[in-house]
Amino acid sequence: MKKTNAHRPLRAMLLVLLLLSAGCDNSGSQPAVPATPAADHEQQSLSGTILMLTNRIDLIENGTMQGYADQFMKKYPEASVEFEGLSNYATDIMVRLSTKDAGDVLLLPVNLPAKELDYFFEPLSAEMSAGERFTTFAAYDGRRYGLSTGTTTSGIVYNKKAFKQAGITEIPQTLDEFYAICAKLKQADITPIYMNYGAVWPLREWGNNMVNYMTGNPDYLNDMVHENAPWQLDNEWGRLLGITRTIIARGYAEDELFSNNWEISKTKLAKGEAGMFLSGNWTIRQILDAGAAPEDIGFFPFPYDNGLKHYAPLNPDWFIGVSKFSRNKELSMAWVDFLVHETSYTAEGFLPLDGNAEPSMEQYREFLSYQPELVEATVQTDTFIDMANRSKLSFASGDYIQELIAAPDLQKAFDGLNEKWEEARALTDTK
């Protein structure tokens, strides 16, 4: 998945009221009958042009998306699909939805409360959504509004040649061992780990993404709504931010911290000029596309403490659905169904959607060999999303993690977050 940077960090959270007002035209209407893809005998009648908004700019630029569209046109000769890539998808899509200018097909925002899905998206038919793994996501009141485009986990993507050059012969199983290999990589004049601090969005892995699974409790974030002060130095937030600050303080991260070097960083890892990323398995495909040989790239769970057992997440990737404001909903439904079920789109660097299927990625088989305990994600509750919006904390973009990493006094920075959170909790029903 081509991830995005965040040049307008808090804007998405401030637009929630706009989103709600944008959906009011539909709030009093009768429930729509879920659209279904056209049957074979109706193929010739589907025509027109639809627009898909996506974060996968890489797949637009390399022609992959157009290739899928060409396959679709063989099935529906009078139809065509156009694409628009958003480089800051998590924030920009909220703006586009608020103005009802979100194309026909799009990825569902992660910070939109489930109760508002019907304002902006068409419900899918039971046939389209049959077999979905993450059943609590993209759904509300018994209706499904999006299909999962992939299954991911997170860990350390690494270059085996860089490890060999630095004299690293064992994969670290503890945090102290992880720091030790960082020191060896630095001594070998290799950037130990690219945090992509300047790109901002990758920092989500160093914040709420990891906090939500490192205890083995996939509802860790959801449970924060019952606390006035969830950010503490002696809990998961403090321990994780301590790791990030240690990495930077010891010079283990990239030198140009404030530059957005996401594309450059992939090339550096592919060449072995950088040793590691903390990221999702979707990154592996992009590292290979940047020039790495498959046998040179590995993947292991991040050892976030010195314990013998570590958790790793099992998450859905973005969900894809049809805009409520599309003027060609039937064609849009057919495209979503085709893209997810009849192309390789959901296999572009992801794990099998079917949990019983054997993963084809050698790197993921290596990952599993270290026996992490996989924690299947649960959907963020509307209460959590409401509180995040009220407190203006951009969990979807990662900029607040950047601020915490750079804070002169982490406790004081935590106090500021807790104050906002307590104020939001006082205005929110957390029962």
Burial class (CB in 10 A: 0-12, 13-18, 19+), 118: buried
Give one word for 173, left, alpha or beta, with left for phi > 0 and alpha for psi -120 to 50: alpha
The confidence score (pLDDT) of residue 247 equals 97
Distance CA 327, CA 251 (A): 53
Q: What's the rounded Cα separation, in Å, for the pair 168 and 171?
A: 8
**Do the beta carbons of residue 420 and residue 151 sit within 8 Å?**
no
pTM: 0.75
pLDDT less than 70: residues of the chain: 1-44, 347-360, 430-431
Residue 288 has what pLDDT? Answer: 93
pLDDT at 20: 35
The residue written with tokens 């990493």 in the block is: 405
How confident is the model at residue 130, as a pLDDT?
79
Task: Compute the half-sphere exposure of residue 211: CA atoms within 13 Å on the CB side of its CA.
Answer: 26
Contact, 25 vs 78, CB < 8 A? no
pLDDT of residue 58: 85
Distance, in Å, from the CA atom of 402 to the CA atom of 406, rounded to the nearest integer, reads 6
**Measured CA angle at 319 (ends 135, 347), to 5 deg:** 100
pLDDT for position 397: 75
What is the predicted pLDDT for the residue at 302?
97
Residue-level pLDDT at 9: 37
Secondary structure (H, E, C), the chain: CCCCCCCCCCHHHHCHHHHHHHCHHHHCCCCCCCECCCCHHHHHHCCEEEEEEECCHHHHHCCHHHHHHHHHHHHCCCEEEEEEECCCHHHHHHHHHHCCCCCCEEECCCCCCHHHHHHHECCECHHHHCCCCCCCCCEECCEECCEECCEECEEEEEEHHHHHHCCCCCCCCCHHHHHHHHHHHHHCCCEEEECCCCCCHHHHHHCHHHHCCCCCCCCHHHHHHHCCCCCCCCCHHHHHHHHHHHHHHCCCCCCCCCCCCHHHHHHHHHHCCEEEEEEECHHHHHHHHCCCCHHHEEEECCCCCCCCCCEEEEEECCEEEEECCCCCHHHHHHHHHHHHHHCCHHHCCCECCCCCCCCCCHHHHHHHHCCCEEEECCCCCHHHHHHHHHCCCCCCCCHHHHHHHHCCCHHHHHHHHHHHHHHHHHCCCCC
pLDDT of residue 401: 92
Beta strand 311-316 with 373-376 is: parallel
Alpha-carbon gap, residue 281 to 316, rounded angstroms: 12
Beta bridge partner(s), residue 151:
316, 351
Single-letter amino acid code for the residue at 411: Q
pLDDT tens per residue across span 110-148: 878 899 999 999 999 888 877 777 888 899 998 999 998
Locate 215 and state its tokens.
């205890």
